[in-house]
Amino acid sequence: MTDDDSAGLTFSPAIIDDPDAELVTRVAQGDQAACRELVQRHLKSTFSLARRMLGNDADAEDVAQETFLRAWRHAPRWEPGRARFETWLYRVTLNLCYDRLRRRREVTMEVMPEVTDPTPSVIEVHHRRDVATAVQGALAALPERQRAALVLCHYQGLTNIQAAEALTVSVEALESLLARGRRALKAALADSAGDLLGKL
Amino acid sequence: MMTEERFRILIEAYGAAPERWPEAERLAAARFAATDPSAHAILEEALQLDGLMGALPTPDMPLGLIDKVLESAAVETLAAAAVPKPVPAPEGFWRNLRALWPLAPRWAPMSVLAGATALGMVVGLNLQSIMSPEAGLYAANEQVAFRFPDDQDLANLP
């Protein structure tokens, strides 16, 4: 177990209404129907977050599995009312993504000393799928926390408060991460923005 | 009250779609967008990036992922649930003790309990002499009998 597993313990001490609290209690008792319900509620969003952070299915699948493995192991020690279980899941997912991105950077630096252009084919794209590839490439080139903030708020639909909790920052800091992320994304896509928009 | 500065910060962070704006400020921001002449240019700038970001589709979950996660649930949660829980008696004792003095920290009833025990022992040991003065006298005589003689004792010798 790592610090990720106790991530929820650092939330605000205020009692939080958590729609998953009862399910997590049942999971701790070995209730397989509760496990299934929890998976149905959260696996897709967990996988999507990891996929958008990491950019490929295989890594995102591993992260989603690892996140839920930690959830099963953590369930007996879960303290209802201290944090939303969903936010805890997002936080564990993000931390696992950060670990993988860090390892990936180390490998990339060993094998490929040159920094590659994250959006090499932006000029040539002609279809909607290619626009998505360009955006994914620009997103992947953002600093991790700016990318996480954008993914949580723009794609995962979290409120600013939930996203700030998942990132363990204040709402003001979240807004700063979002604004810097959007500016960097816009700059990365600036040259071809007109072309790309015309293809949507 | 929504200002142009705050509106710009909101749009630069959350984009042009009102559903992504913070709930607490959504109404004020929407009013500002509808009435302030500066709002249009700010929104227009953000709309372009929103359009590009919207091209990224929702990822499809790989086939079999749900089954893999549920398999791990069966292994982990059933094993954890099978482990016997710690004996609850001590916790019940502390809860009962705490119920006597619910607003104080845990050490307070413990201190009272320890103090009462000590007082009981002191009273118990002295009870014999209180209830029976003769017994106390015998005890005093025993002490005298076993103490070493001092100068006064020696002076009184014939």
B72 contacts A185? CB cut-off 8 A: no
Quote the CA–CA distance of A42 and A13 in Å, as a whole number.
24
What CATH number is associated with residue A91?
1.10.1740.10
Domain boundary among A80, A114, A148: A114
Number of domains in chain A: 2
Same domain? A88 vs A4: yes
What residue segments make up the domains of chain B, in order of their start? Answer: 4-53, 106-155
Quote the CA–CA distance of B137 and A175 in Å, as a whole number.
86
Range A195-200 average pLDDT: 62
Which residues, other chains included, contact A48 with Cβ-Cβ below 8 Å and sequence gap of 6+? A155, A156, B58, B59
Domain boundary among A81, A96, A114: A114
**Structural domain boundaries, residue A182:** 124-200
Nearest to B76 among A51, A72, A136 (CB): A72
Asked whether the predicted pLDDT for residue A38 surpasses 50, the reply is: yes
- Looking at chain A, the whole-number percentage of residues with pLDDT higher than 90 is 64
Asked whether the predicted pLDDT for residue A12 surpasses 50, the reply is: no
Instruction: Give backbone dihedrals phi and psi of A81, rounded to 5 degrees, phi first.
Output: 95, -15
Q: Return the SS3 of A158.
A: coil
Size of interface A-B (CB pairs under 8 A): 130
A-chain residues near B46 (CB < 8 A) = 182
Asked whether the predicted pLDDT for residue B107 surpasses 90, the reply is: no
Is A31:A20 a contact under the CB 8 Å cutoff?
A: no
Same domain? A79 vs A151: no
What CATH number is associated with residue A167?
1.10.10.10
Same domain? A129 vs A92: no
More confident residue, A138 or A1: A138
Same domain? A161 vs A72: no
Query: Is residue A119 assigned to a domain?
Result: no
> How many residues does this entry show for chain B?
158
Asked whether the predicted pLDDT for residue A179 surpasses 80, the reply is: yes
Per DSSP, B37 falls in state T
Return the closest-CA partner of residue A134 out of B53, B106, B33, B65.
Answer: B53
Looking at residue A128, its pLDDT comes to 75
Quote the CA–CA distance of B53 and B56 in Å, as a whole number.
6
Same domain? A10 vs A57: yes
Instruction: Find the distance separating the first CA and the last CA of chain B, reported in whole Å.
Output: 109
Which residues, other chains included, contact A91 with Cβ-Cβ below 8 Å and sequence gap of 6+? A4, A7, A8, A165, A166, A167, A168
More confident residue, A112 or A57: A57
Identify the closest residue of chain A to B72 by CA–CA distance.
A69
More confident residue, B8 or B136: B8
Return the closest-CA partner of residue B30 out of B11, B52, B13.
Answer: B11
Query: Is residue A19 assigned to a domain?
Result: yes
Looking at residue B61, its pLDDT comes to 94
Asked whether the predicted pLDDT for residue A125 surpasses 50, the reply is: no
| Side-chain half-sphere exposure of B151, counting CA atoms within 13 A | 0
Chain A from 117 to 176: CB within 8 A of any B CB: 128, 131-132, 134-136, 139, 150, 153-155, 159-160, 171, 174-176
- Looking at chain A, the whole-number percentage of residues with pLDDT higher than 70 is 77
Same domain? A32 vs A91: yes
Question: What are B's interface residues with A at a Cβ cutoff of 8 A?
Answer: 9-10, 12-15, 20, 22-23, 46, 48-49, 51-59, 61-62, 65-66, 68-70, 72-74, 76-78, 80-82
Same domain? A52 vs A102: yes
Asked whether the predicted pLDDT for residue A88 surpasses 80, the reply is: yes
**The two structure tokens encoding residue B89:** 């008696």
Rg of chain A, C-alpha, whole Å = 18
Looking at residue A55, its pLDDT comes to 92
Asked whether the predicted pLDDT for residue B101 surpasses 80, the reply is: no
Same domain? A107 vs A132: no
Same domain? A53 vs A79: yes
Q: Which of A163-172, B98-107, B147-156 shows the lowest per-residue confidence on average (mean pLDDT)?
A: B147-156
pLDDT digits (tens, 9 = 90+) for A130-150: 888 899 999 999 999 999 999
Instruction: Give backbone dihedrals phi and psi of A17, rounded to 5 degrees, phi first.
Output: -80, 115
Looking at residue A1, its pLDDT comes to 40
pLDDT digits (tens, 9 = 90+) for B124-156: 777 655 555 554 444 444 444 344 446 665 566
Is B14:A179 a contact under the CB 8 Å cutoff?
A: no
pTM score, whole prediction: 0.69
Same domain? A36 vs A64: yes
Quote the CA–CA distance of B102 and A148 in Å, as a whole number.
44
Is A50:A37 a contact under the CB 8 Å cutoff?
A: no
Same domain? A19 vs A108: yes
Nearest to B9 among A36, A153, A175 (CB): A175
Average pLDDT of the residues of chain B: 78
Range A84-93 average pLDDT: 95
pLDDT digits (tens, 9 = 90+) for B115-132: 888 888 877 777 655 555
- Asked whether this complex has an ipTM greater than 0.85, the answer is no
Same domain? A107 vs A136: no
Identify the closest residue of chain B to A42 by CA–CA distance.
B66
Quote the CA–CA distance of B108 and B114 in Å, as a whole number.
10
pLDDT digits (tens, 9 = 90+) for A96-124: 999 999 988 776 555 444 444 455 444 44
Domain boundary among A72, A90, A114: A114
By the 10 Å C-beta count (0-12 exposed, 13-18 middle, 19+ buried), A15 is classed as exposed
Return the closest-CA partner of residue A163 out of A142, A178, A183.
Answer: A178
